[in-house]
Amino acid sequence: MSSSPSSSSSPPPTSGDSPPSNLPLKKIPGDYGLPFLGPIRDRYDYFYNQGKDEFFQSRIKKYNSTIFRTNMPPGPFNARNPKVIAVLDAVSFPVLFDTTKVEKKNVLDGTFFPSTAFTGGHRVCAYLDPSEPNHAVFKGWFLSLLAARHNKFIPLFQNSLSHLFANVEAELSKNGKADFNMLSDDTSFSFMFTLFCDRSPSDTKIGSDGSNLFTQWLFFQLAPLITLGLKYLPNFLEDFSLHTFPLPFFPVKSAYKRLYDGFYISTSKILEEAEKLGIQRDEACHNLVFMAGFNAYGGMKTLFPALIKWVATAGKSLHRRLANEIRTVVESSEGGVTFSALDKMSLLKSVVYEAMRIEPPVPFQYGKAKVDMVVHSHDAAYEIKKGEMIFGYQPFATKDGRVFENPEEFVGDRFVGDGEKLLKYVYWSNGRETDEPTAENKQCPAKDVVVLLARVLLVEFFLRYDTLAAEVGTLLLGSSVTITSLTKAESTG
């Protein structure tokens, strides 16, 4: 259903990926239903009746539009206002990166905002809009912390991966299979903690419980966005328990205190740097724990299993090509696995980007319109009013069939050669892959580190093994991977 353009003397600004200027201006389709009942209906469709992908796909088909109005969970009583405008194509999605047009205040988790009790009473950087004074201070601090540890990334992660693969082999030998997620979680936490704290978590009061402590803490914050998928638990009971009211902080208070104390005691020099920037020591530590736990550990918790899943299921042909490229480059490289060596591995880089495209570690993006604007899809233009919430489901934007050929298929060499031009449509980091994080934007400060670690994971894997087989499934917020066999490279015995 179309409508006429705004009659104001100057039209609202446009946003999108340079679409044709002559697209028709249409009314945004969709509705929110009856107060209270509409959001409950959409929540049941999203979690139980349809599931995430079908929830969005059915509405795209119903409205013949990738931009439409709907309610997003959790709704009553977790979220005061569940109404959103969904943007589900590669052209409209980038409006969510433009902080001159959208506000990112308290929207990290969507239409609800977890209690600040989970972060020591502070609104940490991830919940701040760049217009807020503290945002640039904290983001700049994060970027400087990462830059100072630049030379540690590869050797420290290689050491962590040696332990990971040894544990995988031990589990395979003992049980005939290995739970990659559990072992990867432990490795990710240990690496991340050691990177910032210069000591192993086992040398602190955290001990060997770090990944479990963070997982508990994450669950209580993100419960409104998940379903347990338990067949014996009636839907209405789970919905009431997880989605209707915020889960309290007190069950994970002791877990968080162990994490906080472990970081606080181990990062005195880092916290001193924060104090020089005018950040109070306590607030700095809560921000560091959030970045390390929610952003870094939470991201690796979903990314690494997804990466192994897609590589495992891609088959032996891709495995042979990856192994050949990796071993050839490493053998001819002075210093072995280095930044420059990794940069020469074009297939490896493409495989990592393809995994991030097809299964982004963070599937959702939100932003509240700061101004009246016009957003484009491939086929039409739609006016969004100031104050309306915009929502993007990233897997639909990064699997846009108008941009990517065979978008649902994992194509390992998709981004090789001319395919590199498509990297601007890979959005996993709250920005384009071709953009860089700054203190003034909301792109992941560790964007380049995450890509690096994913590459090193595959390099170290294929230096040891020729191929693998795995059983894959789904977990609360990502993929599950159980490795069932590994074939060692001949040179490794």
H helices present in 333-433, as ranges? 339-343, 346-358, 394-397
Separation of alpha carbons 175 and 463, rounded Å: 24
Separation of alpha carbons 188 and 353, rounded Å: 20
Separation of alpha carbons 406 and 408, rounded Å: 6
Give exposure, 258-296, as e/b (b: 16+ Cβ within 10 Å): bbbebbbebbeebbeebeeeebeeebbbbbbbbbbbbbb
Among 438, 355, 333, which residue's Cα sits nearest to residue 399? 355
Separation of alpha carbons 75 and 46, rounded Å: 11
Among 377, 415, 421, 383, which residue's Cα sits nearest to residue 396? 377
Q: Is 373 left (phi over 0), alpha (psi -120 to 50) or beta?
A: beta
Separation of alpha carbons 306 and 152, rounded Å: 25
Consult the annotation and say whether 444 binds a ligand. yes
Q: Count CA atoms within 13 Å of residue 22 on its CB side.
A: 0
- What are the angstrom distances between the C-alpha of 490 and each of 220, 323, 462, 467? 46, 12, 11, 12
DSSP string, 260-286: HHHHHHH-HHHHHHHHHTT--HHHHHH
CA terminus-to-terminus distance, the chain:
66
DSSP string, 10-54: SPPPEESSS--TTPPEEPPPB---STTHHHHHHHHIIIIIS-HHH
- The β-bridge relationship of strands 373-376 and 478-488 is unpaired
For 323, phi then psi, to 5°, come to: -60, -45
In the annotated binding site for heme, the residues are: 444
In the annotated binding site, the residues are: 444
